[in-house]
Structure 1
Amino acid sequence: MELNKKATLTILILVISIFLVYIFNIGAYDLWSPDEPRYAEVGREAAVDDHWIIPHLNNRIYYEKPPTYFNLIGLSGILAGEFSVTAVRMPGIIISVLLLLSLAYFVLKKDGLKTAVLSTIILATTINFFWLAMKINLDIPLVFCTTLAALILFNNYSDFKNNKLTTIFAFFLMGLGAVVKSPISILPFITLTVYLLINKKAKKLKEIPWLASLFFMVLPALIWLFFAYQKAGYSYFETTVLDQLVGYSTGSQGHPQPFYYYLINFPAVALPWSFFVVPALYYYKKLKNERNTLLDFSVVSFLVIFIVFSMIGSKRNVYLLQLYPFFAIIVGWFFKQHLNGKIKEKKSIIIPMLILIILFLTVGIYLYLNGEALIAEELDFQLNKNSSFFTLYQSLYFLFTGAGIVFLLSIFTKKRYMFGSLVMFSLILIIMLKTLFLPTLNTVKSERYLAEDLAAAYNESAEVGLWGSLNNDSGFVFYNGIYYDKIFSEAEEVREFINSEGNQILIINEAEKLYDNFKQNDYQGFKVNKYRVGSDDMLLLIEKPLLTNSSLDSDNRIAGK
């Protein structure tokens, strides 16, 4: 389809609107522990300590990921003039919006404005996508690289010879994805190869300018590894590339799950659209005259990516984000056929809607009956002692019950109203997340409170220790810039630390570790403060001489206590 001003303006208005929704109230709640503050701190240290080549966390080498995205976070903080929550989240939001814009552009070219708008809306309002788009993570920039590379290669395959520069750029994007997170960024070439083999066009691969393409694909990694080797030697290459990047990509490290994990997980995290993919694939098979090559490629990409990630041993729901853009194209095409009258019956929409209705009403009723007890059990306080959590609890069951009722009413209306009800649910969920749910949960999820109390008591004579994990328990450093001096794994090391001369501050990632290994007399010279961070109670032990100028006056910073 030839682009025109009306179509271009429509897409721009849509994408800008999504951007405004994503950035709304983005700084009203702290970084979500443990990943967000850790990644933000690595980015901050890149900027303030000049660690652009070798990522650092707590002034120690951070081996788990390459530096590319952390450097973007660092640059964002520099441009903003401060390392605020908004500044460190902004790169991810911008990249997610650029991904949506790229998707809309290619779908507009191949299948028209309606499918472009529908696909963009579906991707933007899929729960797992918008959740990740609004927080710091490495998967959004990775999926941007792989999706754009895949769409460019697909667009060029009919005439690689006359599209050399953009083809080379696609390979460069795959290489860039590898230094963002993982060598799994090679997926676009795999999906294109399968697509061409299925369509008996594999000879087209010979037309790729292979020498230049491969050079620019490995160029980002070569540049990074050259300078990394100069600074840290072979041991860094061995740990970061061989053990971490390759290990996670092959599944030898990470999060092992069974083969069928995504069959269960994907429908839950890709709500509210996930249940429509089955009827969409059915009508893809049935309506052969309504297909287009982009839809064919999207179906192949969706299935190949799903199978590849199911075969890899390490599995998390964020890994499957790679197929979300193609999933959105498939479901967007499906709704277009309904809205254009190519699919006359309503049952292929009504059946997924009924599944959602049953699911949402069940969740709403369950929360109404058991939500108060669940919160009390998890957070160890009563809702009647904290009005904000009581409001959160009520809002949750009203949201799911109300959505179930609205979905039920919508099935008696026109198809476009059913689509609109799904979009409205996601928009309301985003607004409630950013104005109520996340700000309320902030008190039991953020490490900022611990960081502020540590900073209030800290002076240069103090020695700071951590009894916990370097990777999972260093997020507090982002808020105060105070690096801990020692990290402990054994109780005897901690005992020696708190009994040593000088002034000590100790952070413990799990309160039970102190109470199970020490008697109260062992730490009577310390003030102990407790903080709920996620599912754990963290402790901050401050030697009492350091409290002279401190405003600490409570033993608990857990909401409701």
Structure 2
Amino acid sequence: MLFALVVLAAGIGMRDPWPPDEPRFALVARQMLESGQWLFPHRGMELYADKPPLLMWTEAVWMWLTGGWRGAFLLTSLFSGLGTLALVAHLGRRLWHPRVGLYAAAIVLTTMAFVDMVKHGQIDPLSLFWITLANTGLLLHCLRGPDWKMYWLGCFAAGLGVITKGVGVIALLMLIPYAVMRVRQWPGLTRTQGDGWRWAGGALAFLLAIALWLAPMLITAYGLRTPEYLAYVQDILFHQTADRYANSWMHEEDPWFFLLVILRLWLPTWLLIPFLVPRWREALRLREPRVWMPLVWFVLILVFFSLPSGKRAIYIVPGLPMLALAMAPYIGDLLKTRWMPRLAFAITLVTGAVFVGVGAWAWMGAPAAARRIAAGYELPDNGRALWLCVIAAGIAFMVAAAVCRPRRGALALMLGVGLAWIVWPVATYPLLNANQSAAQLMSEADARIGPEGQLALVSWREEVLYQARRPVVEFGFVRDAALQMADARAWQRADPAHRWILLNEDALDSCVIREKVVDVGIANRVRSALLPGDGSRVGCVPEALSAAPVAE
């Protein structure tokens, strides 16, 4: 756990929120603190209904406790990651023995997708923790019970998962393999008689957790009965949940998308699966529920997230702890073989060589791909400093290989992964933060408009508002950019000498006088510009608006 703390915490406090998700949640959390409005999150002037507010609550609390510390937005992810590892270790110990718990936690920590997720201030690490806690309660009750308190805790945690992201209910799918195995008389299962009311208590615990937020939110919304709040209720309860699942409008991917995600991002974990299939087959023959309950649940969530067209790689990470739990009982035997430590050692060396080779090639040769990456981050000298960071990550793998040697190849691989995840953020965060967080962009805009200048945002992104150096005016986030621009021009005409409009270049319309536009640089591959008070043609109507039909 100390090793995990160092790996997962490396870099915290060295950067600001980065897109796409971090600035949104940090901005909403900061506005909660500033406004005192906790039930209805706001993004700027508009209600934010994409996600329930639990993550934003936790980030706001961290900001308050730390006095607005720069790294506060990452603390929820850090403690969620550590909590997930602790739960997996505890579950492995209770179901098997302490070493199995250690192996399970090590598998999770070594998996690239897990560490990458925990190092971002997204909603998914907290969702992962609640789902893992729910699975822990359900498995301990179903396999080491009856333990009704753990069962109720598991159902309550699933409800907290719902008010975190909406998908916490997938933890309850664990009851499907339990029911099937119980009908088929598998050994090792908890069997109860006449306890229907206790099973029903799980549903009550699940709904109680959801009601902690849902009840006061609905009471307030329907008490106020304004169109804005009623639309919020409709959006968050239906459009962003059932409608988003059944009729996805973003991130459309093929049905086999998650299999490719596992091959690409679940390294090195999936490399063990071919060697474990015979052991899982033997566990099926022996009807071993400690292996097959978590394994079937993993398959169920893989199917669950593969059915809709909208998919993101991060969606299936909650399945990783249960997959690791199904793998862990057999890791000890694999470590006793001669080939397994040597294979892990070889992977460590090859990984280090690839990182060093690619980094050296980009550093010395500056190929077109390297120049494009450097230009996107606005890095000088073709990004040579970034390629040194890549080389440093490769050296971390090689150092681990040199220290552990082939005999302890598995430890070399885990140590190499951990060292690389320490080196990479510590080296790259200071290098990339000014561009990624839009801090440099907003600093340049602030300097350009002068101490008496006033700033409005059009077609803006959350990191721009989060990094604003002074109070700004905005005209909505999801509104059409042309309507935002029309309102911004009306605002600017009241004091053209001091009022400026900051917008991305795509929002510059046909009424803009291009010679007057002030370029303020690129942030996250989006070029932004400042429009002064005399930067638009007087009396001009943009083509997009003039072509629009007149409302009756």
Q: Give the alignment's TM-score, normalised by structure 2.
A: 0.81
- Partner of 1:464, secondary structure, is strand
Q: Which residue of 2 aligns with 1:326?
A: 322
User: Aligned-pair distance for 1:496?
Assistant: 7.1
User: Aligned-pair distance for 1:247?
Assistant: 2.8
Q: Which residue of 1 aligns with 2:548?
A: none
Pairing 1:77–2:63 present: yes
Distance 1:67 1:535 in 2: 29
Q: Which residue of 2 aligns with 1:20?
A: 6
Note if contact 1:455-1:482 (Cα within 8 Å) is conserved in structure 2. no
Match of 1:222 among 192, 211, 215: 211
User: Aligned-pair distance for 1:61?
Assistant: 0.3
Match of 2:501 among 500, 506, 518: 506
Note if contact 2:91-2:136 (Cα within 8 Å) is conserved in structure 1. yes
Question: Structure 1 residues 445, 165: closer, same or farther in 2, change over 3 A?
Answer: same
Distance 1:33 1:384 in 2: 18
Gaps of 5+ in 2: 223-229, 536-552
Match of 1:163 among 126, 147, 172: 147
User: Aligned-pair distance for 1:315?
Assistant: 1.0
Structure 1 residues 237-246 or 433-442, which shifts more?
433-442
Distance 1:205 1:236 in 2: 43
Distance 1:377 1:157 in 2: 54
Structure 1 residues 309-318 or 378-387, which shifts more?
378-387
- Partner of 2:457, secondary structure, is strand
User: Aligned-pair distance for 1:223?
Assistant: 3.8
- Deviation string, structure 1 residues 213-250 (Cα, Å, up to 9, x no partner): 21221123334233223333432221111001223344
- Partner of 1:506, secondary structure, is strand
Distance 2:163 2:379 in 1: 49
Pairing 1:475–2:498 present: no
Distance 1:398 1:419 in 2: 21
User: Aligned-pair distance for 1:103?
Assistant: 1.2
Residue type of the partner of 1:478? Answer: Y
Note if contact 2:341-2:406 (Cα within 8 Å) is conserved in structure 1. no
Match of 1:438 among 423, 429, 436: 429
Superposed, 1:301-450 pairs within 5 Å as: 301-339=297-335, 341=336, 344=337, 346=339, 365-366=357-358, 368-369=360-361, 372-373=366-367, 374-380=369-375, 385-386=380-381, 389-397=383-391, 399-400=393-394, 403=397, 413-414=406-407, 417-450=408-441
Match of 1:259 among 255, 261, 276: 255
Distance 2:76 2:116 in 1: 14
Question: Structure 1 residues 338, 238: closer, same or farther in 2, change over 3 A?
Answer: same
- Partner of 1:66, secondary structure, is coil
Q: Which residue of 2 aligns with 1:58?
A: 44
- Deviation string, structure 1 residues 164-219 (Cα, Å, up to 9, x no partner): 2221121111111000001x212222133124414525995874624322122112
Pairing 1:124–2:109 present: yes
Note if contact 2:444-2:520 (Cα within 8 Å) is conserved in structure 1. no
- Partner of 1:484, secondary structure, is strand
Q: Which residue of 2 aligns with 1:134?
A: 119
User: Aligned-pair distance for 1:158?
Assistant: 5.0
Question: Structure 1 residues 385, 222: closer, same or farther in 2, change over 3 A?
Answer: closer
Pairing 1:145–2:130 present: yes
Q: Which residue of 2 aligns with 1:11?
A: none
Question: Structure 1 residues 76, 458: closer, same or farther in 2, change over 3 A?
Answer: farther
Distance 2:404 2:143 in 1: 42
Q: Which residue of 2 aligns with 1:486?
A: 475
- Deviation string, structure 1 residues 299-331 (Cα, Å, up to 9, x no partner): 222222222222232211110111111222234
Match of 2:163 among 179, 187, 196: 179
User: Aligned-pair distance for 1:382?
Assistant: 11
Note if contact 2:41-2:48 (Cα within 8 Å) is conserved in structure 1. yes
Question: Structure 1 residues 131, 528: closer, same or farther in 2, change over 3 A?
Answer: same
Gaps of 5+ in 1: 1-14, 546-561
Pairing 1:539–2:525 present: no
Pairing 1:244–2:240 present: yes
Q: Give the alignment's TM-score, normalised by structure 1.
A: 0.80
User: Aligned-pair distance for 1:157?
Assistant: 1.6
Question: Structure 1 residues 491, 239: closer, same or farther in 2, change over 3 A?
Answer: closer
- Deviation string, structure 1 residues 418-454 (Cα, Å, up to 9, x no partner): 2112112211221122211222122331122233445
Question: Structure 1 residues 490, 109: closer, same or farther in 2, change over 3 A?
Answer: closer
Question: Structure 1 residues 354, 458: closer, same or farther in 2, change over 3 A?
Answer: same
Q: Which residue of 2 aligns with 1:190?
A: 173
- Deviation string, structure 1 residues 46-66 (Cα, Å, up to 9, x no partner): 122112111111132001001
Note if contact 2:400-2:413 (Cα within 8 Å) is conserved in structure 1. no
Between the aligned residues of both structures, percent identity stands at 16
Question: Structure 1 residues 483, 462: closer, same or farther in 2, change over 3 A?
Answer: closer
Pairing 1:520–2:505 present: no
User: Aligned-pair distance for 1:109?
Assistant: 1.7
Residue type of the partner of 1:539? Answer: A
Aligned length: 511
Note if contact 2:253-2:311 (Cα within 8 Å) is conserved in structure 1. yes
Note if contact 1:77-1:88 (Cα within 8 Å) is conserved in structure 2. yes
Question: Structure 1 residues 449, 330: closer, same or farther in 2, change over 3 A?
Answer: same
Note if contact 2:349-2:398 (Cα within 8 Å) is conserved in structure 1. yes
